[in-house]
């Protein structure tokens, strides 16, 4: 069972730097005037900023993360507030792993991926993959939607159990087990149990798939679009800066 092997408290965007939904970004800027500290808008969000700490696929604090906080564009934060309001009615809170990511953080991921001998965190995030394939399989890329400021990596926190909702796998797990269509159809919400894409026969339960769909529905209902390789990753559909990437550090605004 995938959950038994992978689930700790975590996640870290399957490589939140590895985003197939990314458009070509053109203009860098360090102007943070259109951003907000996320908890100023969504005060009940729980923060577990993985890249500020050492429990992530790199194993060290990531460049550009100066404080354990989350920043987003004003528009994305307001949309996420609506998501929070919706899931609270179901007994959940949002738990944030990552939001805005400065370009220097993405650059850090790229340097790490190029060092194929740095595999300290392999057992936790990519045990089924050789690190040399991370670029070829687009788990790591030189640009990320996170640098545009309207992308977030998150999960749900169950207020009744006081634990993360069991999603059947950890954030930033590199593999098909993280895909929204793993063991089910995300368009219909139907669990199929098809785990044929897993290289080692891992699986998730109907309940775990249903939990992923609760998060997905709340995000899509409030203007976010999903990524086809990460159940935790969403970008504001009408993001305000589709052709800009930002370089200021992550710290309280």
> How would you write the pLDDT of the chain (253 residues) with one tens digit per residue?
444 333 333 333 333 334 444 445 468 999 999 999 999 999 999 999 999 999 999 999 999 999 999 999 999 999 999 999 999 999 999 999 999 999 999 999 999 999 999 999 999 999 999 999 998 888 888 889 999 999 999 999 999 999 999 999 999 999 999 999 999 999 999 999 999 999 999 999 999 999 999 999 999 999 999 999 999 999 999 999 999 999 999 999 9
Q: Locate the DSSP E strands across the chain.
A: 27-29, 35-37, 46-47, 71-73, 92-98, 151-158, 163-164, 184-185, 190-191, 224-227, 230-236, 244-246
Contact residues for 69 (Cβ-Cβ < 8 A; gap 6+):
37, 38, 39, 47, 49, 250, 251, 252
| Structural domains in the chain (count) | 1
Residue at 212 is within a domain: yes
Residue 143: CATH number of its domain: 3.30.1380.10
Give the N- to C-terminal CA distance of the chain in Å, as an integer. Answer: 42
Q: In Å, what is the CA distance from 14 to each residue of 172, 198, 218, 244?
A: 3, 15, 20, 23
SS3 154: strand
Structure confidence at residue 137 (pLDDT): 87
Residue at 238 is within a domain: yes
Structure confidence at residue 229 (pLDDT): 94
Structure confidence at residue 24 (pLDDT): 53
Residue at 253 is within a domain: no
Q: Across the strands, what pairs with 250? A: 65
Is residue 132 within 8 A of residue 116, CB to CB? The reply is yes
Residue at 241 is within a domain: yes
Rounded to whole angstroms, the Cα distance separating 234 from 244 reads 18
Q: For residue 119, give its domain range.
A: 2-246
* 205, burial (CB in 10 Å: exposed 0-12, middle 13-18, buried 19+): middle
Strand 151-158 to 92-98 pairing: antiparallel
Rounded to whole angstroms, the Cα distance separating 94 from 154 reads 7
Residue at 219 is within a domain: yes
Is residue 43 within 8 A of residue 88, CB to CB? The reply is no
- Residue 24 burial (CB count, 10 A): 7
Per-residue burial over 105-131, b if 16 or more Cβ lie within 10 Å, else e, is bbebbeebbeeeeeeebbebbbeeeeb
Per-residue burial over 29-60, b if 16 or more Cβ lie within 10 Å, else e, is eeebeebbbbbebbeebebbbbbbeebbbbbe
Residue at 91 is within a domain: yes
Is residue 217 within 8 A of residue 83, CB to CB? The reply is no
Residue at 63 is within a domain: yes
Residue at 189 is within a domain: yes
């Amino acid at each position: 069972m995938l959950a038994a092997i992978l689930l700790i408290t975590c996640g870290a965007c399957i490589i939140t730097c590895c985003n197939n939904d990314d458009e070509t970004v053109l203009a860098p800027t360090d102007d943070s005037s259109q951003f907000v500290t996320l908890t100023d808008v969504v005060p009940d969000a729980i923060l577990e900023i993985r890249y500020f700490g050492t429990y992530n696929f790199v194993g060290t604090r990531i460049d550009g993360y100066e404080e354990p906080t989350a920043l987003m564009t004003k528009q994305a934060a307001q949309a996420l507030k609506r998501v929070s309001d919706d899931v609270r009615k179901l007994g959940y809170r949002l738990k944030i792993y990552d939001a805005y990511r400065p370009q220097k953080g993405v650059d850090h991921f790229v340097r790490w991926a190029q060092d194929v001998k740095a595999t300290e965190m392999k057992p936790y995030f990519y045990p089924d993959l050789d690190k040399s394939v991370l670029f070829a399989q687009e788990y790591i890329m030189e640009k990320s939607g996170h640098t545009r400021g309207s992308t977030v990596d998150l999960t749900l926190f169950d207020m009744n159990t006081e634990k993360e909702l069991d999603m059947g796998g950890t954030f930033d797990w590199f593999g098909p087990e993280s895909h929204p269509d793993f063991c089910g159809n995300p368009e219909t919400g139907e669990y199929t149990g098809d785990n044929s894409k897993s290289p080692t026969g891992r699986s998730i339960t109907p309940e775990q798939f249903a939990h992923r769909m609760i998060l997905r529905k709340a995000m899509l209902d409030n203007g976010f679009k999903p990524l086809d390789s990460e159940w935790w990753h969403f970008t504001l559909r009408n993001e305000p800066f589709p052709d800009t990437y930002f370089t200021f550090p992550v710290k309280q605004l």
